Structure 1
Amino acid sequence: MAFQCQRDCYMKEFVTSVVSCCPAELKQEVNGKKETIKGFHIKLQDTILFPEGGGQPDDHGFLGDVPVLRVTRQGPDALHFVASPLEVGQEVHVKVDWERRFDHMQQHSGQHLITALAETMFGYKTTSWELGRQRSTIELDTPCVKPGQLQELEECVNEKIRAHIPVMVQLLSIDDPAVEKVRSRGLPEDHAGPIRIIDIEGIDANMCCGTHVSNLGHLQVIKLLGTEKGKKNKTNLIFLAGKRVLKYAEKSYNTERSLVSLLKTGPDEHVEAVDKLQKSVKLLQKTNLCLLRDMAVLIAQSFKNDPHKDSFFTFHKKEGDNEFMNIIANEINTEETLVFLTVGEEKGPGLFLLAGPSELVTEMGPQVLELLQGKGAGKNGRFQGKANSLARRGEVEALLKQRCNQRNSQEE
């Protein structure tokens, strides 16, 4: 059977009745974490909410006042996941999230059009596609698409849109000879009912369960953003259709305005201005690195030349890296001196290095790690790593100094 959403993709509201209501669970990702929601699967007599399939995500909407969080297909039925139960037999008013639905219709019909013309014009067959949240991707069975071909394809696609070519839906029985003439990647194993054909007049006829526009003019416009290398010697073609193109243009324009303000140049000079900035930054980083190395040597020499130096040396600097700390440690005779160095925010995350007599470093390293809430490892008289917090750095210094004094007393 074809659902009402497949018979009339433009229907936004519908009245039907509840056939069954069963407890169910839904796994969703919330703020990057997977959560399991307890609820109910509702089967309806018919539905205008599309269950995911054919590369198209499911619809969202309402059953009365109850939000529908997910719609999936089970054989000939659509399962609507909701948080609260509905009574079997009751009449319900179904409403679709039209903005989401129409967006999916534009992207899906856009994919059919691009796929058909890419094959007709260049012989590039589509092996799969993905309707993403922000952009969609068509996997083409070719190692590459030339820039000239991409431009030619985009021009042809938009020419067909401007021609307002009709898009029709046909329902054929599985044994109808006409089924053999349409493009298809095969039917799902649990398929039931008639075969649904999406026919773009004079361009393409393809088996598909998804929702589509009734005329290519409803696509408004298609933008081919470019290609990326795909799997197994294939190419991913990235595209936007309809309202997504308008949103992309608005976002790009706002970005352009921000860059004009930041770079103090017109849009045509942005690439050149950023290139100059990058070269300046690299030069400054190189200069800064040289200064840090020189500073590290001076810090170590200052300690070595101090007539009142003892067997423990500690130093902290907000700016620095592992190389900065290692240069200091290399310049100091760590066979006789215990060195504790840190770089980073005073009470925030940072890096640390403990260097000195091997047995002392092996003994004190794990304690330093614990106090700094860090991760690290050591060997050959060095113990270094990352600190989640340098807030207890003073405690580490006091502990190390006390241990050095004890060691000195034992040796005397």
Structure 2
Amino acid sequence: MAFLCQRDSYAREFTTTVVSCSPAELQTEGSNGKKEVLSGFQVVLEDTLLFPEGGGQPDDRGTINDISVLRVSRRGAQADHFTQTPLIPGSQVLVRVDWERRFDHMQQHSGQHLITAVADHLFEMKTTSWCLGRFRSIIELDSPSVTAEQVAAIEQNVNEKIRDRLPVNVRELSLDDPEVEQVRGRGLPDDHAGPIRVITIQGVDSNMCCGTHVSNLSDLQVIKILGTEKGKKNKTNLIFLAGNRVLKWMERSHGTEKALTTLLKCGAEDHVEAVKKLQNSTKLLQKVIYSMERGEGVGSARLPAVSQPPFQPVSHVCVLCHRKEGDSEFMNIIANEIGSEETILFLTVGDEKGAGLFLLAGPAEAVETLGPRVAEVLEGKGAGKKGRFQGKATKMSRRAEAQALLQDYVSTQSAEE
């Protein structure tokens, strides 16, 4: 006989009788990842609302008379419920299921049946195993590879069937029923007893299964296939979410998107490009740091007189640097490392004979005076504030003239002092 959880997967509570209660231990994994052994009791009920682990589906959680059930396992035709409080045999008890966990398992399990059937029908890809994980589920397909086009076709087809609101029926067949031979399955457990339970998605699939399922595909809401990964022995793992897991995944993704928008200061559509620019800037900065460690970089640029490349001193208060590769982010990183209120820093990136970018940093008054004049010499344009002026240049070949302009300014200021 099937348990109540199998006869009616939507039932949330019911009353039954305690058959036995015996001392037992349960091995669990603690919050620190170490194995723990809990002392408690193994409770057997006349019937149960709590599904014992099986068919790739984890066991339910719930309560018996408000006592938490920490594990449910199948032993032949009965289910063992582990509690840390004893229950009196012969007593009537109220059993409640953790509905959120149960319904999630129903959605993932029925979703697996649907994907398995569609993958087989469309591409003759057989399912060899599956795993209902805590955050995502995985179907192992007997195929060395699955293309992106095949994944898209499977996803589109399963969601069409969800929108068609196809019924999902549960039947029990005797072992000698001829129809058993027509039902898909991967064999029965060695300790199986009683009739065979068959889950049928109308017009799509019939499969032997002991798990809990939705009664209509519409309860799946939606299925999202996240992608594939290489499996073992020339197999491919297909990763999917069903129902409420899709909504939770979208919520997490949206939160990440909002955080990145704040950090990168650009819209979601520009996130990838912004990260690529940061990566490029980081690589260039790493090169500068490497040069610094060899006595050729930022550390030397901080000295009153700079003599090592790539920095060239014009005077004791002016530092120049040019790199062919780089961007505005890179120049600002360098300026933050080197800049001071007493040093004029002139940075340029780009083609030495063509176009590029420039940045002038230093004392606010000097930058405010020199910035527009440097932009004019380089036949470019820019803007700035608070001791920074940066912009685009069309004639990087005139850098020497800009340097001379800065040198004249520094010399004039020094003479006045």
Aligned ranges for residues 172-183 of structure 1 at < 5 Å?
172-183=173-184
Q: Which residue of 1 aligns with 2:409?
A: none
Q: Secondary structure at the match of 1:294?
A: coil
**Amino acid of the structure 1 residue aligned with 2:235:** K
Q: Secondary structure at the match of 1:84?
A: coil
Deviation at 1:290, TM superposition (A): 2.8
Instruction: Measure the CA separation in 1 of the matches of 2:293 and 2:39.
Output: 57
Q: Which residue of 2 aligns with 1:333?
A: none
Deviation at 1:66, TM superposition (A): 0.5
Instruction: Measure the CA separation in 2 of the matches of 1:210 and 1:107.
Output: 11
Q: Which residue of 1 aligns with 2:49?
A: 48
Aligned ranges for residues 336-351 of structure 1 at < 5 Å?
none
Does structure 1 residue 30 correspond to structure 2 residue 30?
yes
Instruction: Measure the CA separation in 1 of the matches of 2:176 and 2:129.
Output: 26
Aligned ranges for residues 291-306 of structure 1 at < 5 Å?
291-294=292-295
Instruction: Measure the CA separation in 2 of the matches of 1:39 and 1:286.
Output: 61
Tell me the alpha carbon deviations over residues 211-242 of structure 1, each in whole angstroms, 9 at most, x when there is no partner: 00000000000000000000001000000000
Does structure 1 residue 241 correspond to structure 2 residue 257?
no
Q: Which residue of 1 aligns with 2:19?
A: 19
**Amino acid of the structure 1 residue aligned with 2:91:** Q
Mean Cα deviation higher: 150-159 or 286-295:
286-295
Deviation at 1:27, TM superposition (A): 1.0
Deviation at 1:266, TM superposition (A): 1.1
Instruction: Measure the CA separation in 1 of the matches of 2:144 and 2:81.
Output: 41
Gaps of 5+ in 1: 299-412
Q: Which residue of 2 aligns with 1:216?
A: 217
Instruction: Measure the CA separation in 2 of the matches of 1:232 and 1:40.
Output: 41
**Amino acid of the structure 1 residue aligned with 2:8:** D
Task: Name the TM-score, length of structure 2 as normaliser.
Answer: 0.70
Instruction: Measure the CA separation in 2 of the matches of 1:66 and 1:187.
Output: 33
Aligned ranges for residues 49-198 of structure 1 at < 5 Å?
49-198=50-199
What is the percentage of aligned positions where both structures have the same residue?
65
**Amino acid of the structure 1 residue aligned with 2:236:** T
Deviation at 1:30, TM superposition (A): 1.4
Q: Secondary structure at the match of 1:250?
A: helix
Tell me the alpha carbon deviations over residues 228-287 of structure 1, each in whole angstroms, 9 at most, x when there is no partner: 000001000000000000111111111111111111111111111111111111221222
**Amino acid of the structure 2 residue aligned with 1:3:** F
Deviation at 1:147, TM superposition (A): 0.7
Deviation at 1:292, TM superposition (A): 2.4
Instruction: Measure the CA separation in 1 of the matches of 2:290 and 2:104.
Output: 51
**Amino acid of the structure 2 residue aligned with 1:141:** D
**Amino acid of the structure 1 residue aligned with 2:95:** V
Q: Secondary structure at the match of 1:40?
A: strand
Deviation at 1:25, TM superposition (A): 0.8
Aligned ranges for residues 344-383 of structure 1 at < 5 Å?
none
Deviation at 1:65, TM superposition (A): 1.5
Deviation at 1:293, TM superposition (A): 3.9
Deviation at 1:294, TM superposition (A): 3.3
Structure 1 residue ranges (4+ consecutive) displaced by more than 3 angstroms after TM superposition:
none
Instruction: Measure the CA separation in 2 of the matches of 1:205 and 1:294.
Output: 73
Instruction: Measure the CA separation in 1 of the matches of 2:18 and 2:294.
Output: 75
Instruction: Measure the CA separation in 2 of the matches of 1:190 and 1:285.
Output: 63
**Paired residues, number:** 298
Question: Max radius of gyration: which structure?
Answer: 2
Deviation at 1:134, TM superposition (A): 0.4
Tell me the alpha carbon deviations over residues 149-188 of structure 1, each in whole angstroms, 9 at most, x when there is no partner: 1111111100000000000000011111111100000101
**Amino acid of the structure 1 residue aligned with 2:186:** R
Q: Which residue of 2 aligns with 1:359?
A: none
Q: Which residue of 1 aligns with 2:231?
A: 230
Q: Which residue of 2 aligns with 1:3?
A: 3
Aligned ranges for residues 299-338 of structure 1 at < 5 Å?
none
Q: Secondary structure at the match of 1:273?
A: helix
Instruction: Measure the CA separation in 2 of the matches of 1:268 and 1:259.
Output: 11
Gaps of 5+ in 2: 300-417
Task: Name the TM-score, length of structure 1 as normaliser.
Answer: 0.71
Instruction: Measure the CA separation in 1 of the matches of 2:258 and 2:146.
Output: 32
**Amino acid of the structure 2 residue aligned with 1:17:** T
Tell me the alpha carbon deviations over residues 100-143 of structure 1, each in whole angstroms, 9 at most, x when there is no partner: 00000000000000000000000000000000000000000001
